Structure 1
């Protein structure tokens, strides 16, 4: 099982392998394909609905698999934007993500918004229901880093900037933390067609029920220790536990 780590904990070799895999996916058109998928569905329920977190979990996992097809040792790192908040942080150095700005014509304008705080994250983690948790996570914690980076990252084609995947790995990690602290908390639909067994946009055979257990998807985070997910999936994509409701 791959372990997603804070980018600051990557070894020099791990950073190099990740960067090389990103270049390969750009050369083969995969990066641009993912940007087009995101842009196509931007206003069709992948944001501002209860499918926001499961859709992006599926999306970045698919990208991670593409990276691993090039180099099996690579896992997505994450960027904790409550800690690394300066354009001079190692994240943006020329030997890491800084090189992509001019090379891929990303048009970044770092520092164009205020990044989320650890206090905001702590408050959000204390929300008792999924219906309270995800809108605040999306609006107050997920959105500002997109604006802070600027350029492509601020557009509907934001996956064209590789920092998108580090940012969303962090958002996904925060969901994992919340799941860990609220075991068995049910998935709550924000409306019709956005329930736990409703198809995720782009992948009609995939639903939130398929992605609630991230371990079953083949990855974990460096924060987890020996945690075992309370979620499991029965055959045919139906929720296997009464803890998961539409």
Structure 2
């Protein structure tokens, strides 16, 4: 059992160990394989294919397994490393410790959004983007999107999602009609005046590489998703009688049959089911 800590509580030494393990996975090719996996399973509603990672009920269990697989690789480099989480409702500015030079580095420069500070700056020679290089070979960010400002989700926006006792609802995609925690936290469900909320809004606030299927090119991805994973825990504790939906495979004739994962159906690429990912007791805990 190991601990995932709030990033704001990490010591300088812990930050250095985490970033060093990331850089080693980048050097040996493991990191970019994870970016390719995320991109492969970034399937939008309009595609007729299976949606397992996004815009679907398996958003939470799929990313839990994805983070676990990545964390295990980090621990082959340094057994004392785990993925920290970033609470974006409180550490909500470009001046937060997350973006310091000794951790993830800051926003991109105005001319081309290139990240110029920290261990993942292109200039260090340790972080060349090779997956989805239509954008750039250097890591890009645009924290807060100053030219068209956007703010990080507020505690109230987050609570709006956690208060919903329904896990998910038909048609099990970004338009899920009757609401549900999954769509509200993933962030497609939003009031008419807004385009995104919660998880999606964070990706947009960071900008650059974080806005597409190859978002894990930015190491901030892992800290963001560790917090999303923690929030799934909070929702489960708040609604102990509510479970993963759909519980059973969708009926013949349902347009979403074969496109979303039910509780006991295997999630590619690992063939583990959502049921197997409903908890993480005995593996890690949050503090």
**TM-score higher than 0.5:** yes
Q: Deviation per CA, 1:95-122, whole angstroms, max 9, x where unpaired? A: 1000214353111111123211101112
Which one has the largest radius of gyration?
A: 2
**Equivalent residue, structure 2, for 1:149:** 206
- Structure 2 length as normaliser, TM-score? 0.74
Alpha-carbon distance in structure 2 between the residues aligned to 1:118 and 1:176:
16
**Equivalent residue, structure 2, for 1:215:** 281
Alpha-carbon distance in structure 2 between the residues aligned to 1:207 and 1:137:
21
**Equivalent residue, structure 2, for 1:181:** 238
3-state secondary structure, aligned to 1:188: coil
User: Whose helix fraction is larger, Structure 1's or Structure 2's?
Assistant: 1
**Equivalent residue, structure 1, for 2:23:** 23
**Equivalent residue, structure 2, for 1:110:** 143
Give the paired residue count.
220
Displacement of 1:184 in angstroms is 3.9
Alpha-carbon distance in structure 1 between the residues aligned to 2:96 and 2:285:
25
Deviation >6 Å, runs of 4+: none
Displacement of 1:13 in angstroms is 1.6
**Equivalent residue, structure 2, for 1:93:** 100
For 1:161-240, what aligned pairs fall within 5 Å after superposition? 161-189=218-246, 191-192=256-257, 193-203=260-270, 205-216=271-282, 218-222=283-287
3-state secondary structure, aligned to 1:220: strand
For 1:126-137, what aligned pairs fall within 5 Å after superposition? 126-131=163-168, 132-137=180-185
- Structure 1 length as normaliser, TM-score? 0.85
* Greater RCO (CA < 8 Å, at least 6 residues apart): 1
Instruction: Structure 2 unaligned segments of length 5 or more: list them.
Output: 44-49, 106-117, 128-137, 169-179, 188-196, 251-255
Contact preservation (8 Å) 2:86, 2:226: yes
**Equivalent residue, structure 2, for 1:80:** 87
